[in-house]
Amino acid sequence: MADDRGASGSAGSTTVGALDRLHPSLRHAIVHELGWRALRPVQDLAVNAIVDGHNTVILAPTAGGKTEASIFPVLSRILDERDLEEGGDEEVRALYVCPIRALLNNQEERIQSYAAMVGLRAFKWHGDVGASQKKGFKREPTSILMTTPESLEVMLISERTDAATLFRKLRAIVVDEIHAFAADDRGAHLVSILERLRRFCDRDLQRIGLSATVGNPATIGAWLQGSSERSFVLVDPPKPAAERELAIELTADLEEAASAARGLGWGKKSLVFVESRAEAERLAAAMHVPRGDDPLRDELQVFVHHSAVSRADRQLAEQQFAGGRNTAIVCTSTMELGIDVGDLDLVMQLGAPSTVASLLQRMGRTGRRPGTRSNYRFFCVGDETLLQALALVRLMSRGWVEDVEPIAEAAHILAHQILALSLQEGGVSRHRVLQHIAPAYCFRGLDPADVDALVDTMVERRILHESDGLLSLGEDGERRYGRQNFFELYAVFSAPSVVRVMYRRTEIGTVQSLFIRSCMDREEGLLFRLAGRSWAVTHVELDRGLVQVVPAARGRVPSWLGFPSMLSYELCQEMKRALAADDSPTWLTPPARRELGLLRRSYEGLVEPGVAPIEAAGGSHQWHTFAGGAINRLLASALEDLGAGKWTAGNLTLKPTKPLADAVVTDALARLRDVDWRAQARRYVARMSHLQVSKFQVCLPEELEARLLVERLTDVEGTVRFVRQHGAPMLR
């Protein structure tokens, strides 16, 4: 983890008098309406930093007061500005941006109430908000606009919104859960939009990020900074040592895990995290016990919460959950962010998350009441999952969290922004594109030649049309991203084709159309589970993206396509260290501790520091790299090109798909040191060019597409370090 916490004016101790620096009206409301006598340390520090005009990243645990730490000083500055202007109608002066709509829904009432305390208003705008409400907002804008990057894009390029007027007095942007943005395409999209907004208001926008878990906050600050010339302050006050109740349990199968989760959850409020939508449906089904079999256990209400469940069902789960005990929500990462569902008693986990940051986010949902502690229990099915959970807890206990690595060479996002700018501006010169967005962090790795090559390719492929020096949507661009496919332009992420599942007039959720097509010929009809219930399909209209269903007694779990999880090098190395240790971790239940003992004996001689041996027996080989998926897939590619046949790459090991002679393997391993790994990565992605990692990939020239795929699918620098450290591994 890069320890850059001291950079750029880091704040580490409580500053006295921050409450007195707030506008008198806000100070009065905090004291007399909220009944607060003082601010928390994180709020003290944030108020001083933000009132002084600094760009700021605020780190605090879940329920640590980050929202107030940002909103109070922003409201104060709005009030100060309005005093200087002697009142007048409200205009948008601050944005509050969230990664998901559910978090906006959850924060809406709180932020609106804080604004109302001082006579101001806040409005929530996203895709689920009605057109009439949005029209009302445009007629009478509010001081704070709560939204998502996609909705901001709509406002910027829509002919029905006068974005230049709407954002002319914009002063500040608050980005909630900033770690969820910084490392992916939506974050690159967001910082591009911030640069475009800056041109509307013609001022240095103040940028404020909120996060609970991040390993390199100063890098996040640089990512957020963009064109801003304000100094950066990190608000990261000392935190009390976390008190946690942890247990890692080994279970034989999902049914045993469901039974254990049901027993622990009875009489409590609990979240049960899983790693996929299909797993959520399977676990929820297994946790349900028919009343006749066990009338007491049936009192536990089990809900399902994931991205394919309808918004109405997700909201129902949140509302029911917040209202009482004896409820459990089986969820994916949709419940990982700071959605407030009240005080939790317990968080359970089937398997293990892939990062320490996710573990901290999930664990932070409990222990929020005074006098309570975090309560987290893993149910691991299989040895590797047990080892993964143990490694995550070991890293967390040492205070280690992953660095967030922002994208710095996002040519595909640049393609998206060129298309968006051509609509926003009614045509844009290729020479002026970068004037709008160049300071965004995500483009710092691109040079003018890259931009020229990108535009030339988009024109050649008729995605863009160039006439009289201006770029506009070309014929193919209109087909792919034009008005008929508007969503394809304002959202940067891609999603597989889905169909809506309807029971009468109620939407249950979505399933992928490929799943429906693959099951349509079944004799028993199409039966599946969604939102924790079983359904039978009565009518299919794939051309309209609809299936009609009725309740059923049983159903299979749909399949949702996605990229397989790749674990990091650091996590895999910690799994190796856990195998090499001789301690008896207190987090493990007795059966899990016994299983770890057996695992350690089976790995004797294979997990010493600095070695990555290959087990060889009768033509069967297994290379114990503990290097993570991105490095292993590049090593497998090189072994194939060196004549050692195809290898299957996991996170911990590589295995040849067919038996090989020891001499063939030894020869290939000996030549790994001579491999040009960047060239090897290019050869690998050339074989994987059918993979679409971005819907704007079609816009890229061959060179930029190769660079994108290399960045997404491999770890060149990590592979170089691994080979340099381990040399030519020996067969054992």
Dump pLDDT digits (tens) for 505-541. Answer: 777 777 766 666 666 555 556 787 887 778 888 888 7
Read off the tokens for 302. Answer: 């089990």
Mean pLDDT of the chain, nearest integer: 87
Q: What is the pLDDT of residue 539?
A: 80
Taking only the tens place, the pLDDT of each residue in 535-574 is 888 888 766 777 888 888 777 666 555 556 789 999 999 9
Which pLDDT band holds residue 416 (cuts at 50, 70, 90)?
very high
CATH topology of domain 244-397: Rossmann fold (3.40.50)
Amino acid 455 reads V
Between the alpha carbon of residue 38 and those of residues 33, 41, 42, 46, 702, the distances in Å are 13, 9, 12, 14, 58
Mean pLDDT of 60-78: 91
Q: What residues pair up with 269 in beta bridges, in sequence order?
A: 327
Q: What string of H, E and C letters represents the secondary structure of 503-563?
A: ECCEEEEEEEHHHHHHHCCCCCCCEEEECCEEEEEEEEECCCCEEEEEECCCCECCCCCCC
Residue pair 119/89 in contact by the 8 Å Cβ criterion: no
pLDDT exceeds cutoff 80 at 714: yes
CATH code given to domain 19-235 = 3.40.50.300
| Beta-sheet strand order (sheet of 614-617) | 614-617, 620-624, 653-656, 647-649
Which pLDDT band holds residue 677 (cuts at 50, 70, 90)?
very high
Q: What is the pLDDT of residue 373?
A: 79
Higher pLDDT, 695 or 628: 628
Query: Which of 173, 165, 166 shows the shortest CA–CA distance to 193?
Result: 173
* CA angle 498–502–507, rounded 5-degree value: 85
Q: What is the pLDDT of residue 486?
A: 53
| Tokens 């979505």, located at residue | 510
CA distance 283 to 302: 10
Q: What is the pLDDT of residue 365?
A: 81
Residue 172: helix, strand or coil by DSSP?
Answer: strand
Taking only the tens place, the pLDDT of each residue in 111-169 is 999 999 999 999 999 988 999 999 999 999 999 999 999 999 999 998 889 999 999 99
| Phi/psi-derived region of residue 166, left when phi > 0, alpha when psi is between -120 and 50, beta in every other case | alpha
Q: What is the pLDDT of residue 8?
A: 42
Between the alpha carbon of residue 104 and those of residues 111, 317, 600, the distances in Å are 10, 17, 46
Residue pair 508/281 in contact by the 8 Å Cβ criterion: no
Higher pLDDT, 689 or 228: 228
Taking only the tens place, the pLDDT of each residue in 634-676 is 999 999 999 999 999 999 999 999 999 999 999 999 999 999 9
CATH code given to domain 411-430+441-490 = 1.10.10
pLDDT exceeds cutoff 60 at 461: yes
Query: Which of 419, 481, 420, 424 shows the shortest CA–CA distance to 160?
Result: 424
Mean pLDDT of 67-75: 97
* Least trusted range by pLDDT, from 190-204, 242-256, 268-282, 326-340: 326-340
* Least trusted range by pLDDT, from 242-256, 298-312, 681-695: 298-312
pLDDT exceeds cutoff 80 at 106: yes
CA distance 389 to 355: 10
pLDDT exceeds cutoff 50 at 719: yes
Q: What is the pLDDT of residue 562?
A: 56
Q: Do domains 19-235 and 411-430+441-490 have the same CATH topology?
A: no
Query: Which of 617, 600, 501 shows the shortest CA–CA distance to 549?
Result: 501
Which pLDDT band holds residue 16 (cuts at 50, 70, 90)?
very low
Helix and strand counts by DSSP (H, E) for the chain:
28, 24
Q: What is the pTM of this model?
A: 0.87
Ordered DSSP codes for 642-691: III--EEE-SSEEEESS---HHHHHHHHHTGGG--HHHHHHHHHHHTTT-
Q: What is the pLDDT of residue 560?
A: 55
Q: What is the pLDDT of residue 5?
A: 36
Read off the tokens for 81. Answer: 């500005």
Taking only the tens place, the pLDDT of each residue in 275-331 is 888 888 889 989 986 555 554 444 788 988 877 787 788 778 877 777 777 899 999
pLDDT exceeds cutoff 70 at 394: yes
Which pLDDT band holds residue 6 (cuts at 50, 70, 90)?
very low
Helix locations, 337-447, DSSP H: 356-363, 383-397, 411-424, 433-437
pLDDT exceeds cutoff 60 at 602: yes
* Least trusted range by pLDDT, from 207-211, 258-262, 473-477, 532-536: 532-536
| Dihedral sign (CA 107, 113, 114, 115) | positive
Q: Which residues contact 664 (CB under 8 A, 6 or more apart)?
A: 643, 644, 645
Q: What is the pLDDT of residue 289?
A: 67
Residues of the chain above pLDDT 70, percent: 88
Strand-strand pairing, 498-503 and 614-617: unpaired
Kindly list the domain boundaries of the chain, sorted by start residue. 19-235, 244-397, 411-430+441-490, 498-551, 606-726
